[in-house]
Structure 1
């Protein structure tokens, strides 16, 4: 029996129709007459990384910062009730039902249109069953019978899926580490949930503030002048302009008068370049461009756009909106050409180049009973689909001429079936004009412009193209939406500007690498590369931990935000400087060594800190609290990485 698990009931229903699984079993799952296929669904949030409250014994504050857990925990979602996490009876029954299905299955198939993060959570759900069954992935691009059948027959399994899941695990770990440390560092300054943050947010906010400030700088206005010349060549219109522009109107006027004398005459020119390549003026939409166009043309913020697009996808009206590419695979060629005869010259790609997703297109289904938002987003996608397939094709020709000592250059467009070669031609001048222009800088920063710039950096500026569906760490639209919802950015009629809250945040973190968009891009590119190679994940995660540790330490040892005093202890790491006492830690300003004042539910006393600094270990201490809320006795030591931890079981510690 093959078990297909999807991440929504609508997707499960669509898969059941495509695979002829019209029967229902006692649990409501879809199956066929022979029982060889069972299709079920689970909510995407059923399995999730453990919240930081789980590490802090149910508390909403982590007092021990920087916080680097020894293990990153995942599990079934649970509610925090009185400091204890409890799984609901409904979720327990769902997990038991899934485990029973996995044990009966010969192959477990994950059907989804999401990327590496979803694949990682599916791996956790599957591993919980401990059944050791074969696993595979259906990359859903469209919920049509044809597309689902193709995905089922060409489902992917083996090491590639395992590597994608490993990449997703690292992204989850980095997201958790950043969110827990940054939020808790600012919670110590301003209170609980004062600055909710995701991994991209600070870097994107720095970019937004920098763009906004540069836009407000008034530069001197410089007016320049140019001359334009129009004419005909073989019955075709062409525009030529001089190869230089002028700062003075009098200089341009002289050239204009010189060319006016040639008006109506035929001169010799030269075709210097012929570009026979078919150029398509419009591309299909992907997730990034869909969000940009929706803001610009519909006034929809990304959350509103994606909510409507996801519903349209589940209704089978469009292909997956989580796409990172704008091309179409070759196996869709006959299907697309049947719907759009003018798409015969469209550049389809081989399947191996875009194996996971493709550009957003509409399907053949008739849209019925759509909400206003869904209707407008559908029409937007439909228009862009028709424009992409109906783009005019042409040959671009470069023309150069020297008239009365003035060098001119221009281009002309010919039909794609026209024949043209380089060489001398006769060009008839039909008109001359003089014009002026100045450098115009926009006075306001628009959401569409900022989102386009951010997408250019994050999603198209890398060395290798992104092929997997877009996950949360590359969702620039969701980042902008968070900044607006959390009060860092003010949005009004398409224009955005940073708020005072954003300025306060950047006053603390703007000078750190937390706000470096280039560093963020290099980190996510490195983790995405894990899906394509055999590099182990643990060194990548350890490198990120080593990177974020001193940055969080600099936040909680900021003398502008916290009271501090010089202690009488010398740093045991560098041995050259004294330690400075802060409310949450005691740290060396030279080498970055630190001792937390709070460790596993216990507040270290001055005696405990003195023992750690002098002897690098303490006497046995009673009062530490484990994850189940029980107190225990243990000694603290400074390990070989100069971090505070519990002593080894075999260590001999005397009081």
Structure 2
């Protein structure tokens, strides 16, 4: 008998129906002659919080972590199923955190038979049967579980010890996770840079108006106004100067399908939904089989889904099918079928937001054309760039051409240096996520999307609910309480330390080191962090 484990009741029912397990033995367990599908919620095994193990010890770095079963009746029902199983299959859309939960379940029931994994990216009958037929097995799943276990261990140690540190120095407990600490540190740095801005222009630029009224900005910015004026005096007003017209074609700025991050950003900007709420709504739509898994950082689709997309959009000129990082198990968020049931209004709004993004992707121009005119006067470079649309897109060829511009006038203006950062909520979500994912992308750890370590939108959402970050008119700032916490972090690169150790945990997936050594070394770094904040720790 093959035993399949799911983590919520709707997925369990759908998987059971797809594989012909039509008999409900007891609530949440479905059987056939060859397959049994059981629902084991994530809360079935509880990681014992360190506050229950430490007995007041601080700092506390445990040698082992403890777990306990919270659903004794379900445990009794599952025991004979695990003992009779010839193979145990985990069916989920989760990453390392989910695989770690499955590892703990198998260890609890002392599973000795083969184990495998079904990636439930789409809860449709055909996709489920395909995932079952092509289910994965191998050492890489064990390594994925180790990544999840080590990450969870680091979270438990960090939250307990930072709580105790705050209490010891006179701050409240905030139950900060590592993700929240990283996000708080980023918002604090950003708030400090905005506070330091004194409203005085950083420099001066030159604006040149040419024939036709187009305005050209100087590429350079001069700190002293007299230096800019000296350059402006050399500009030959009324004369025609040589210029270069460059027309480029690119798909770099094309709209992409939704990832969890861009869905959270889109839902906040267009619907006013906070990130954690968006995730809950998306998870509900996924459980109903209306959308693919929201747990993804991939913005592309594999060639195998071209047929599905074309059942909805027969012509897809705006999306370039071909080689990308998408697979049938890991791809962007898409709708799977039309709404055929009554949905809560907010779920319906999110469904159409996803659908309309798909429509925009497939119907956009396959590429964009940008024209740039540039000319030099002495050493000063002036330029203007714009996008070619409509008829201009169709008739303008790409390439570099020589032209001329007649200068009408020129003037010096005070200006600020180009702003590279923003404290808009969605921009901060994007920036923190990009910072966290940068090393993994460079080193190609290839860990499947893991909610507990990848969802920085919900981490920022949590900081707002805890009163450490303020959301004001779409912009985020540290609250006074958040400033007190940030002051303990500032200047010590704690966020970089936490991100470094998360990379080390992710690197376990590649099999380059042991989980125990990562936990031990993280403990040492965490102890240094605690002693930096609280020099009296351990006394």
Aligned-pair CA distance for 1:289: 1.9
Counterparts of residues 55-454 of structure 1 (less than 5 Å): 55-56=53-54, 62-77=55-70, 91-190=71-170, 194-217=173-196, 218-221=198-201, 222-227=203-208, 229=210, 255=235, 257-258=237-238, 275=248, 277-279=250-252, 281-343=254-316, 346-348=319-321, 354=327, 356-366=329-339, 368-394=341-367, 396=369, 413=388, 420=397, 422=399, 424=401, 438-439=415-416, 445-454=423-432
Aligned-pair CA distance for 1:21: 3.1
Q: Which residue of 2 aligns with 1:50?
A: 48
Whether 1:37 and 2:30 are equivalent positions in the alignment is no
* 1:402-456 Cα distance to aligned partner (Å, 9 max, x none): 6999976556648888794646567798999989673386999432232222112
Whether 1:510 and 2:490 are equivalent positions in the alignment is yes
Unaligned runs of 5+ residues in structure 1 are: 57-61, 78-90, 232-237, 559-583, 587-655
Distance of 2:157 and 2:132 partners within structure 1: 36
Whether 1:3 and 2:27 are equivalent positions in the alignment is no
Distance of 2:400 and 2:187 partners within structure 1: 50
Which structure has the highest strand share of the two? Answer: 1
Aligned-pair CA distance for 1:131: 3.3
Out of 471, 474, 480, the residue aligned to residue 451 of structure 2 is 471
SS at match of 1:491: strand
SS at match of 1:531: helix
Alignment check: 8 A CA contact 1:325 1:357 kept: yes
Distance of 1:28 and 1:244 partners within structure 2: 67
Alignment check: 8 A CA contact 1:5 1:110 kept: yes
Aligned-pair CA distance for 1:166: 0.9
Could you tell me the TM-score, scaled by structure 1's length? 0.71
Distance of 2:15 and 2:276 partners within structure 1: 26
Distance of 2:374 and 2:491 partners within structure 1: 53
SS at match of 1:10: helix
**Paired positions, count:** 526
Distance of 2:231 and 2:174 partners within structure 1: 58
Alignment check: 8 A CA contact 2:180 2:463 kept: yes
Greater Cα shift, 405-414 or 453-462: 405-414
Alignment check: 8 A CA contact 2:243 2:374 kept: yes
Alignment check: 8 A CA contact 2:304 2:328 kept: no
Distance of 1:344 and 1:555 partners within structure 2: 56
Aligned-pair CA distance for 1:134: 1.1
Alignment check: 8 A CA contact 1:299 1:493 kept: no
Alignment check: 8 A CA contact 2:96 2:447 kept: no
Greater Cα shift, 404-413 or 173-182: 404-413
Alignment check: 8 A CA contact 1:400 1:407 kept: no
Distance of 1:144 and 1:12 partners within structure 2: 12
Out of 535, 549, 554, the residue aligned to residue 527 of structure 2 is 549
Assess, with a 3 A threshold, how the Cα gap between structure 1 residues 407 and 453 changes in structure 2: closer, same or farther: closer
Alignment check: 8 A CA contact 1:48 1:74 kept: yes
* 1:580-633 Cα distance to aligned partner (Å, 9 max, x none): xxxx744xxxxxxxxxxxxxxxxxxxxxxxxxxxxxxxxxxxxxxxxxxxxxxx
Distance of 1:531 and 1:408 partners within structure 2: 50
Which structure has the highest helix share of the two? Answer: 2
Assess, with a 3 A threshold, how the Cα gap between structure 1 residues 230 and 372 changes in structure 2: closer, same or farther: farther
SS at match of 1:200: helix
Task: Work out which structure has the larger RCO, using CA pairs closer than 8 Å and 6 or more positions apart in sequence.
Answer: 2
Greater Cα shift, 108-117 or 400-409: 400-409
Assess, with a 3 A threshold, how the Cα gap between structure 1 residues 375 and 244 changes in structure 2: closer, same or farther: same
Alignment check: 8 A CA contact 2:6 2:38 kept: yes
Assess, with a 3 A threshold, how the Cα gap between structure 1 residues 255 and 52 changes in structure 2: closer, same or farther: same
